[in-house]
Amino acid sequence: MRLFVTGGTGFIGSHFVNQANAAGHEVVALRRSPTSQTRIPLMKEPIWVDATLDSVQEKDLKGCEAVVHLAAHTANVPYDTLENCLYWNLTVPLRVFQRAHSVGVHRFVVAGSCFEYGRSGERYEFIPETAPLEPTASYPTSKAAASIAMIGLAAELNLKLSIHRIFQVYGEGEASHRLWPSLRAAALAGDDFQMTAGEQVRDFIHVRSVASSLLKACEREDLTEGLAEIENLGTGRPQTTLQFCQEWWQRWSAKGKLLVGAVPYRHSEVMRYVPQVNDER
């Protein structure tokens, strides 16, 4: 299968490109420029398209059988303005999808975010895929709006669409300021680690598992044209952030201390994000 991948140099994208190549797919991947670096080394280079997302043309998409949309604008704090997030996470991807459809692409796999659920996540022990979207910040708001718009586009154009709401993803190639990489850096250096009280309940899923699930979505034969499918990507194993940090701190035989409560919670922190997971997919 020939796959067009947005965000091919990113955290999830780099892992996805490696797995897709290993599975024998032909990968066409988007990057901003020839000097863009992937988050992890690639075993095989894809066919690179050097362009920004808003300059992708029909000729770049021609011959592809699926679009795998992994690009995201300011997915990490600090988020950009709502206006800019809506442009890059909603308006531009819809334009790419329409151009892809015009050259014969009918399958679309989209990386969504658990933060689309927002406040509604706190009302569920395990969040179902049918839970209302109540995001609390600009980036997740733009992703929630994109989900709704893409579902409508799939119905209008009779597309095969799957949207995968990814929970607390971590692993190699993750941005250095995020929890797992900064925790590892402190542990390996023998330093103390400042953190919140760690009461947030999350479902931590390794990036390789996320990439594998997205690749399976490309290969599925049971999707219905015009009827979008939503999938939560998690492990089904709730943990507090403190438990997660303690587990890895012990695994790395860290010499420093976890300074629990040294960092305040973020404004509008949602304290529980745990998905209902369908293991049959």
Predicted local distance difference test score (pLDDT) of residue 278 = 83
User: What is the spatial distance between Cα 239 and Cα 198, in angstroms, rounded to a whole number?
Assistant: 10
Which pLDDT value is given to residue 184? 98
Q: Residue 266's pLDDT is what?
A: 87
181 Cβ contact list (under 8 Å, min separation 6): 174, 175
pTM strictly above 0.85: yes
Query: What pLDDT was estimated at residue 196?
Result: 97
The helix (run of H) or strand (run of E) holding residue 4 is: strand 2-6
3-state secondary structure of 29: strand
Q: From CA 250, how far away is CA 187, in angstroms rounded?
A: 9
Of 134, 248, 113, 276, nearest to 183 (Cα)?
248
Q: What is the pLDDT along the chain (281 residues), one digit of tens a residue?
A: 999 999 999 999 999 999 999 999 999 999 999 999 999 999 999 999 999 999 999 999 999 999 999 999 999 989 999 999 999 999 999 999 999 999 999 999 999 999 999 999 989 999 999 999 999 999 999 999 999 999 999 999 999 999 999 999 999 999 999 999 999 999 999 999 999 999 999 999 999 999 999 999 999 999 999 999 999 999 999 999 999 999 999 999 999 999 999 999 988 788 999 999 987 65
Alpha-carbon Rg for the chain in angstroms? 19
Nearest to 281, CA basis, from 203, 211, 216: 216
pLDDT at residue 267 in the model: 83
Taken in order of first residue, the domains within the chain and their CATH numbers are 2-170+203-233 (3.40.50.720), 179-201+237-273 (3.90.25.10)
**pLDDT score recorded for residue 281:** 59
pLDDT at residue 270, rounded to an integer: 87
